[in-house]
Amino acid sequence: MKPKILLVDDEIPIITLLQYNVEKAGFQTDIAQTGPEALDKAINNTYALIILDIMLPGIEGTEVCRQLRERNIDTPILMLTAKGSESDKVTGLDIGADDYLTKPFSPREMIARVQAILRRVTEQVDTNQAICMGQLTIFPNQYEAKINGDTLDFTRKEFDLLLYLAENKGLVLSREQLLNAIWDYAFEGSTRIVDVHISHLREKIEANAKKPRFIQTIHGLGYKMVSVP
Amino acid sequence: MKPKILLVDDEIPIITLLQYNVEKAGFQTDIAQTGPEALDKAINNTYALIILDIMLPGIEGTEVCRQLRERNIDTPILMLTAKGSESDKVTGLDIGADDYLTKPFSPREMIARVQAILRRVTEQVDTNQAICMGQLTIFPNQYEAKINGDTLDFTRKEFDLLLYLAENKGLVLSREQLLNAIWDYAFEGSTRIVDVHISHLREKIEANAKKPRFIQTIHGLGYKMVSVP
DNA sequence: CGTGTAATTTACAAGTTTTTAACATCTATT
DNA sequence: AATAGATGTTAAAAACTTGTAAATTACACG
pLDDT in tens, B97-133: 877 788 778 888 888 888 888 877 665 544 467 888 8
Mean pLDDT over B50-58 rounds to: 86
Per the model's pLDDT, the better-predicted residue between B190 and B220 turns out to be B220
Hey, which residues does B5 pair with through a beta bridge?
A: B29, B49
Q: What are phi and psi of B54, to 5 degrees?
A: -80, -30
pLDDT confidence of residue B125: 45
Q: Is the pLDDT of residue B194 over 70?
A: yes
Task: For residue B48, give the DSSP letter.
Answer: S
Q: Which of B8, B54, B6, B10 is nearest to B29 (CA)?
A: B6
Average pLDDT, whole number, for chain B? 84
pLDDT along chain A (229 residues), means of 10: 92 91 92 95 96 87 89 90 58 74 78 84 72 91 90 95 95 93 72 94 82 87 88
Q: What pLDDT is attached to residue B134? A: 82
Spatial CA neighbour of B166 closest among B149, B148, B181, B150: B181
**pLDDT higher at A173 or B79:** A173
> Is it the case that residue B85 has pLDDT exceeding 70?
no
pLDDT at A181: 92
In B, minimum Cα distance to A86 occurs at: B128
DSSP state of B187: P
Residue B57 or A154, more confident: A154
Quick one: three-class SS letters along A88-103?
A: HHHHHHHCCCCEEEEC
The pLDDT value given to residue A209: 64
Residue type at position B145: A
The C-alpha atoms of residue A4 and residue B168 are separated, in whole angstroms, by: 23
pLDDT score, position A187:
62
Output the pLDDT for position B92: 39
> Beta partners for B32?
B8
A13, A28, A218, A220 from A23: Cα distances, Å? 15, 6, 55, 60
Q: What is the 3-state secondary structure (H, E, C) of B74-92?
A: CCCEEEEECCHHHHHHHHC
Report which of residues 63-102 in chain B place their beta carbon less than 7 angstroms from any atom of strand C.
Answer: none
Would the CB atoms of A69 and B134 count as touching at under 8 Å? yes
Please give the pLDDT value at position B33.
93
The amino acid that residue A90 corresponds to is V
Q: Give A95's contacts in chain B (Cβ within 8 Å).
A: 149
Protein CA B167 to sugar C1' C18 (Å): 33
Q: How far apart are CA A77 and CA A50, in angstroms?
A: 5
Task: Kindly report whether the global pTM for this prediction surpasses the value 0.75.
Answer: no
Residue nearest to nucleotide C27 (CA to C1'): A219
- Exposed (0-12), middle (13-18) or buried (19+): which is A203, by Cβ within 10 Å? exposed
pLDDT at residue B204 is higher than 50: yes
Closest-CA residue to A98 (of B15, B171, B130): B130
Residue B139 to residue B14: CA distance in whole angstroms: 44
| pLDDT (tens digit per residue) in B2-32 | 789 999 999 898 899 899 989 988 899 999 9
